[in-house]
């Protein structure tokens, strides 16, 4: 079984970009990774792969609405990144909306994550910021490692304060989440916000080149433009998910 990593936090904190950069880091030495995003508000497959033709049949909605979910069904819905064949993606396709599929069930989400973990070394669940969304809660519950990304400002602080009670149950392992300052900029009160939220495990600084990769649809190339502080945080996550020493410093 592969390890599962959940990524959650407030909107605009860089969760999806981080998920793609982490996938590139994990895919070193031909380790296989699947990123799953089950957010119907913004279908992610056309965001991740704007230059690839994605069939409507590839939507993760077909998996989640299936009466029986197994590894074969999941494998058939994974879109492989052509430039990085050890990275697969699962998400909604262009045109999908909240009315496209029946309400997502907890058991279906849990089965999706479990069956995907049978196929690869790592599964990254890229959660949306709306925590009532059942995908986010299920992904956090099922994860071996949970990454919490917050903007180091009042928006990030108050998002955490309002969502912390939703994760109070022991099954969410709230105290074990790794918290990173997303899109951190020099003008942010990083130390002050860190004191309020209980400290940062690391910084994910904003970079114009990273932003350009995302804007141009080359999100999986963003790792090439991460500054040392960003890569220090990535390497810290790699250490926690038990990547061996030779693979930690990339």
| pLDDT value, residue 37 | 96
Maximum C-alpha span of the chain: 50
Per-residue pLDDT of the chain (250 residues; tens, 9 = 90+): 899 999 999 999 999 999 999 999 999 989 999 999 998 888 999 999 998 888 889 999 999 999 999 999 999 999 999 999 999 999 999 999 988 998 888 999 999 999 999 999 999 999 988 877 689 999 999 999 999 999 999 999 999 999 999 999 999 999 999 999 999 999 999 999 999 999 999 999 999 999 999 999 999 999 999 999 999 999 999 999 974 444 444 5
| pLDDT value, residue 250 | 53
What are the φ/ψ torsions at residue 120 (nearest 5 degrees)? -135, 175
Which residues, at least 6 apart from 107, have a Cβ–Cβ distance to it below 8 Å?
none
Give the β-pairing of 84-90 and 79-81.
Answer: antiparallel
DSSP 3-state assignment of 34?
strand
| pLDDT value, residue 209 | 97
Q: How far is residue 122's CA from residue 57's CA, in Å, rounded to a whole number?
A: 24
Residue (of 134, 110, 132) closest to 123 by Cα position: 110
> If 0-12 CB within 10 Å is exposed, 13-18 middle and 19+ buried, where does residue 151 land?
buried
Q: How far is residue 241's CA from residue 5's CA, in Å, rounded to a whole number?
A: 8
How far from the centroid of its chain's Cα atoms is residue 185's Cα? 21
Q: What pTM did the predictor assign? A: 0.94
DSSP letter for 202, please: E
């Amino acid at each position: 079984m592969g390890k599962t990593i959940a990524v959650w936090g407030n909107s605009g904190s860089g969760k999806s970009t981080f998920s793609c950069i982490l996938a590139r880091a994990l895919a070193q030495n031909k380790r296989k990774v699947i990123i799953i995003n089950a957010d119907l508000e913004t279908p992610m497959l056309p965001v991740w792969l704007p230059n690839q033709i994605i069939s409507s049949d590839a939507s993760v909605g077909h998996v989640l609405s299936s009466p029986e979910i197994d590894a074969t069904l999941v494998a058939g819905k994974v879109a492989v990144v052509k430039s990085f064949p050890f990275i697969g993606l699962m998400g909604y396709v262009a045109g999908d909306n909240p009315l496209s599929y029946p309400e997502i069930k907890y058991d279906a989400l849990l089965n999706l994550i479990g069956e995907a973990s049978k196929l690869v070394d790592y599964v990254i669940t890229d959660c949306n910021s709306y925590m009532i969304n059942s995908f986010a809660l299920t992904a956090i519950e099922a994860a071996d490692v949970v990454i919490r990304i917050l903007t180091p400002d009042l928006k990030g602080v108050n998002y955490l304060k309002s969502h912390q009670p939703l994760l109070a149950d022991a099954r969410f392992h709230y105290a074990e989440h790794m918290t990173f300052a997303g899109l951190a900029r020099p003008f942010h009160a990083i130390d002050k916000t860190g004191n309020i939220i209980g400290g940062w495990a690391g910084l994910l600084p904003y970079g114009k080149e990273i932003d350009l990769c995302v804007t141009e649809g080359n999100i999986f190339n963003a790792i090439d433009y991460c500054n040392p502080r960003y890569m220090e945080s990535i390497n810290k996550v790699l250490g926690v998910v038990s990547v061996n020493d030779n693979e930690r410093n990339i």
